Structure 1
Amino acid sequence: MTQFRNFKMVDYVIYGRGSFSQLDEILAPHRINNAPMVFLVDHFFENHPLLNRIPSKENDRVIFADTTLEPKTTQVDKIAAFLKEEYGKVSGIVGIGGGSTMDLAKAVSLMMTNEGSSADYQGWDLVRKPGVYKVGIPTISGTGAEVSRTCVLTGPERKLGMNSDFTPFDQIVLDPELIHNVPKNQRFYTGMDCYIHCIESLQGTYINEFSKSYGEKALQLCQKVFLEKEIWDDECDDQLMMASYAGGMSIAYSQVGVAHAVSYGLAYVLGTKHGIGNCIVMDHLGEYYPQGTDEFKRMVDKHQIDIPKGLCKDLTEDQFDKMLNVSLSMKPLWENALGKDWAKVMTREKLRALYEKL
Structure 2
Amino acid sequence: MVSKIIFGRGSFNQLDELISPKRQGRNAPFIFFVDDVFKGNHWLTSRIRLSYKDKIIYIPTDEEPKTSQIDQLTEDIILEYSEQPSGIIGIGGGIVLDVAKAVALMLTNEGESKDYQGWDLIKNPAVYHVGVPTISGTGAEVSRTTILTGPDKKLGINSDYTPFDQVILDPELTKDVPNDQWFYTGMDCFVHCIESLTGTYLNAFSQSYGEKALQLCKEVFLGDHLSKEASQEKLMMASWHGGMSIAYSQVGIAHAMSYGLSYLLGIKHGIGNCIVFDHLDEYYPDGVDLFKQMKANHSIELPQDVCADLEDYQFDIMINVALSLEPLWENALGKNWKQVMTPEKIKALYQKM
TM-score (norm 1): 0.97
Picking from 57, 63, 68, the partner of 1:74 is 68
Matching residue's letter, 2:36: H
Structure 1: distance between partners of 2:63 and 2:301: 20
Matched, 1:58 2:46: no
Structure 1: distance between partners of 2:29 and 2:185: 32
TM-superposed CA distance for 1:60, in Å, is: 0.4
Q: Which residue of 1 aligns with 2:245?
A: 250
The structure 1 segments of at least 4 consecutive aligned residues displaced by more than 6 Å after TM superposition are none
TM-superposed CA distance for 1:230, in Å, is: 4.6
Cα deviation, 1:127-160, whole Å, max 9, x if unaligned, reads 1111111000000000000000000000001000
Pairwise mapping of residues 129-278 of structure 1 onto structure 2 (< 5 A)? 129-230=124-225, 233-278=228-273
Picking from 323, 333, 339, the partner of 1:328 is 323
Find the residue that maps to 2:5 and give its secondary structure. strand
Cα deviation, 1:229-269, whole Å, max 9, x if unaligned, reads 25651000000000000000001110001110110100000
Find the residue that maps to 1:251 and give its secondary structure. helix
Cα deviation, 1:305-340, whole Å, max 9, x if unaligned, reads 111110111112221111000000110000000000
Structure 1: distance between partners of 2:118 and 2:50: 34
Structure 1: distance between partners of 2:111 and 2:213: 38
Structure 1: distance between partners of 2:202 and 2:105: 30
Picking from 26, 31, 42, the partner of 2:35 is 42
Structure 2 unaligned runs (5+)? Answer: none
Cα deviation, 1:101-139, whole Å, max 9, x if unaligned, reads 000000000111111110000000001111111000000
Q: Which residue of 2 aligns with 1:15?
A: 7
Matching residue's letter, 2:100: A
Picking from 297, 309, 318, the partner of 1:314 is 309
| Number of equivalent positions | 350
Find the residue that maps to 2:46 and give its secondary structure. helix
Find the residue that maps to 1:63 and give its secondary structure. strand
Matching residue's letter, 1:76: I
Find the residue that maps to 2:57 and give its secondary structure. strand
Picking from 16, 24, 42, the partner of 2:16 is 24
Cα deviation, 1:5-61, whole Å, max 9, x if unaligned, reads xxxx11110111111011111011111112110000011110012111112213201
Structure 2: distance between partners of 1:232 and 1:258: 34
CA-atom RMSD, angstroms? Answer: 0.8
Picking from 79, 88, 104, the partner of 1:85 is 79
221-230 vs 347-356, which moves further: 221-230
Structure 1: distance between partners of 2:309 and 2:100: 35
Picking from 283, 287, 307, the partner of 2:282 is 287
Q: Which residue of 2 aligns with 1:107?
A: 102
Matching residue's letter, 2:202: I
Q: Which residue of 2 aligns with 1:123?
A: 118
Structure 2: distance between partners of 1:287 and 1:318: 26
